A and B are shown apart, each in its own frame.
Chain A
Amino acid sequence: DQQVKQNSPSLSVQEGRISILNCDYTNSMFDYFLWYKKYPAEGPTFLISISSIKDKNEDGRFTVFLNKSAKHLSLHIVPSQPGDSAVYFCAASARTDKLIFGTGTRLQVFP
């Protein structure tokens, strides 16, 4: 049973526009959420996180939104740049428990 779901395997966005990556979860005990970015043949790098006491966290061009009632989080990238082209994983954990990853969304930013 996939507790963290990224239903869009891929997304294509024009440079300068907004990229919105979505993630849904089923476990209401999750209280910490993260986004990772991964280039081919490299390890994921941590992007941004949010705890369940917040509904928004911002870091430069990256903003994560959390909707606890809908069990949904999203990552907004504004403006999108070609270097943002990568696979993005969302992940979630309940306190003291292990991190559960989604299946990833491949973002392509074209000129």
Chain B
Amino acid sequence: DGGITQSPKYLFRKEGQNVTLSCEQNLNHDAMYWYRQDPGQGLRLIYYSQIVNDFQKGDIAEGYSVSREKKESFPLTVTSAQKNPTAFYLCASSFSSYNSPLHFGNGTRLTVT
């Protein structure tokens, strides 16, 4: 079955450590996205990539970094520069064509203490 896999589901880190969240898709989608969900704030876009080896900042990119070396993979690194890293992180993908809906993974809950 095609889909988007995010791992791990739960992640715990100490403050000051970088952490990388995994996202893999086998839907043959060109575009991939990272969102963050906080209570009462909906989904906010961190980074997105329309094609391999290219990505753009979203609305809240500070303190995050990404790479897109393969079409199937779009890992997100939460760096120690991110002031409030504890959140629910969602990866999504879509075809690049206009009006193609996003398909989401099941998310990773990151807790930083």
* Residues of A near any B CB (own CB < 8 A): 4, 6, 9, 32, 34, 36, 41-46, 49, 51, 89, 91, 95-96, 98-99, 101-104
Contacts and interface: CB of A to CB of B under 8 A. Distances in A.
Contacts of B42: 4, 6, 89, 101-104
Interface string B96-113: 001101111111010000
Interface in B29-63: 35, 40-45, 48, 58
B99 A51 contact: yes
20 contacts: A36-B104, A41-B9, A41-B107, A42-B107, A43-B90, A43-B92, A43-B104, A43-B105, A43-B106, A43-B107, A44-B104, A45-B104, A46-B101, A46-B102, A46-B103, A49-B101, A95-B98, A96-B98, A101-B42, A102-B42
